[in-house]
Structure 1
């Protein structure tokens, strides 16, 4: 089967926006109800731990189903399965809005996450199908910008909807958005498929996974991506603890946590300009330099004894820019190694991202946090893992 990469003239802004919103929908659905979770223990007469399972169920389905949607899209086709996934996400959202108990809400969230996973993995694979070279990296930069702004924006919108209309309204909103995206995919996306024949049976499907896992360059790209995700989730897990020690109350914590996502968008914008005149290798090296500079400054200020929230937040603006530079070429690299397995590649990469993020947020809870030093050390350890993977990646590609 021949490549379906489109001529540049056909790369309309509407096509790019369509793909970006398909990818970002899962993050919106994941985070829009976070403000409501504070009230669910009282609403359902359940423990906070039980309420947390609603989020865990979503993440588990969201990560695990990427391993299903990706290979199936290589085998059957991108667009049909994307439409199935959006239908599933819409049904899960409506079921969540109507759930009379926390148990049924948890099941509905799992269904919602399973459907949302299709957009994340299939639309990323379609970027591989439809774009080439620097244009693909540029589109991934726009994807990164959108994904950077989605969590804080969804949380702010979700809180306002919850206060004014109730927690169920957020799920109705997600069902409506899924329906809009269904129409957008149906009418606006080409029937993109993999660039060559994909696996046809379960054995060949597993062989496809095995082939990717035997590709050192693919694994190193995924390792770089996983390290950035783990670094960010470590920050999300540890920053509230550190900021509480600095006297920051819960209603103010969000403003400090937004430092990395906002700077991440700046990094993505920079990448979209750099990609026209710089190689992916140089952009990734620049991203690592910004990332490590920010973490070194956080650590230095902590060791100096500075106990101020700005001593944590401001240096991490550098890290956010660095991650914004790193993510687009890394995402592009993960799906470009074996074009016929782009869906499977995106699926494995997405799953490892979720797992690395979970490990990062768990590990940071194992160390004490009287200041920002320990948080900086854990984040720096993850970043150095990414630096090592990136050095090996470029050394191998030079060979």
Structure 2
């Protein structure tokens, strides 16, 4: 007797949360890993690169083989990578395991996002993705706090073991309750398709640009905020830890509000509001850098306003990028995800070049990329999106 399939709307947040489980809970363990193995930063960098590049391979595979086989394989590799990381006795072994985990996470997220397009109409997909990202935000809030507690009580290896345990539970849930979502006949059509068809879609180009722009801005905050708040402004690490946690609370609220706004206003007006927030937030931070460079509150207020916009753009951008490509959903998801990671990596590397030991540029290396992201989002929301909906 077959088990009743688990409602996908409940499974989606758990699948999307595999990302903060692998990243946010890992951050508090970095100092302990560096002490034990001699280095830790390379494992994080390789993880991000593997996650971004592997999406390009996972998309076509998901369209050809189906979502379920690739999802189960990705979760299995996630478990093995977590166990291997926990048992690592050398930094090279840890880097290899984290690279495998990044590729495995790419398979999980590509299949989860593609399944949203398989199961829901484009308009409904925006609401479902917003609900899923609300769950991701809750995990992102708890993951660093739980990771720090586990490191303190049991050591960094148990953080990696808990990642494997989380993925094991997900594998069982998907094995028993996740049915194949790829429509019959879609695999043959996807095999005959090409990446050119994905980029020929104006909807894909616009919505993928929205997702990449907002993510690049938030990534620069994650990358550079420790140096700004701890090294430049003198906050303690414990006090700083509440800043990203507070951002996660704002993000959760924003994704919940996004669902209501979509029902009341529709995608265009909702994204325009998000773009306005995404520009106003960095403007507040920039004024703070000019008028009160040693003040913390303008940076905190501006970050909260930017995250309000980010919580609107992410579900709309991720779901909108695949809305017009039902038979190419895997490829569309993979290229959209790769674009997000590539934009974040490139902008983050450029911004990091302006951070020195003396913090001579203050908070500007963190603020300017977010300001640029806000300007791009305004152009997309007030120029490109109206043309897209006008064409329809």
TM-score after normalising by structure 1 = 0.89
* Residue from 238, 245, 254 that aligns with 2:224: 238
RMSD, matched Cα: 2.2
Tell me, yes or no, if the aligned pair for 1:238 and 1:375 is still in contact at 8 Å: yes
Tell me, yes or no, if the aligned pair for 2:14 and 2:136 is still in contact at 8 Å: no
SS in structure 2 of the partner of residue 100 of structure 1: coil
Is 1:53 paired with 2:39? no
Give the aligned partner of residue 281 of structure 1.
268
Is 1:363 paired with 2:356? no
Give the aligned partner of residue 258 of structure 1.
245
SS in structure 1 of the partner of residue 180 of structure 2: coil
Q: 1:132-151, aligned counterparts within 5 Å?
A: 132-151=121-140
SS in structure 2 of the partner of residue 122 of structure 1: helix
* Residue 85 of structure 1, CA deviation: 0.9
* Residue 164 of structure 1, CA deviation: 1.3
Deviations 1:31-86 (A, max 9, x none): 32222210223212x2x4xx211112221222222122221111111111111111
Structure 1 CA distance for aligned equivalents of residues 346 and 141 of structure 2:
22
Deviations 1:163-200 (A, max 9, x none): 21221111221111111101111122221104752357
Structure 2 CA distance for aligned equivalents of residues 306 and 281 of structure 1:
36
SS in structure 2 of the partner of residue 327 of structure 1: helix
Structure 1 CA distance for aligned equivalents of residues 244 and 99 of structure 2:
27
Give the aligned partner of residue 208 of structure 2.
222
Tell me, yes or no, if the aligned pair for 1:62 and 1:117 is still in contact at 8 Å: yes
Structure 2 residue runs without a partner (length 5+): none
Give the aligned partner of residue 7 of structure 1.
none
Tell me, yes or no, if the aligned pair for 1:129 and 1:195 is still in contact at 8 Å: no
When structure 1 is superposed on structure 2, of 208-217 and 99-108 the one drifting more is 208-217
The verdict on how the C-alpha distance between 1:52 and 1:194 changes in structure 2, with shifts beyond 3 A counting, is farther
Structure 1 CA distance for aligned equivalents of residues 366 and 96 of structure 2:
34
Q: 1:252-331, aligned counterparts within 5 Å?
A: 252-331=239-318
SS in structure 2 of the partner of residue 311 of structure 1: helix
* Residue from 159, 184, 195 that aligns with 1:209: 195
Structure 1 CA distance for aligned equivalents of residues 174 and 385 of structure 2:
35
SS in structure 2 of the partner of residue 314 of structure 1: helix
* Residue from 373, 376, 383 that aligns with 1:385: 376
The verdict on how the C-alpha distance between 1:134 and 1:115 changes in structure 2, with shifts beyond 3 A counting, is same
When structure 1 is superposed on structure 2, of 143-152 and 354-363 the one drifting more is 143-152
Tell me, yes or no, if the aligned pair for 1:63 and 1:351 is still in contact at 8 Å: yes
What count of residue pairs does the alignment treat as equivalent? 382
Tell me, yes or no, if the aligned pair for 1:259 and 1:314 is still in contact at 8 Å: no
The verdict on how the C-alpha distance between 1:32 and 1:125 changes in structure 2, with shifts beyond 3 A counting, is same
* Residue 373 of structure 1, CA deviation: 4.5
The verdict on how the C-alpha distance between 1:201 and 1:133 changes in structure 2, with shifts beyond 3 A counting, is closer
The verdict on how the C-alpha distance between 1:250 and 1:74 changes in structure 2, with shifts beyond 3 A counting, is same
Is 1:397 paired with 2:389? yes
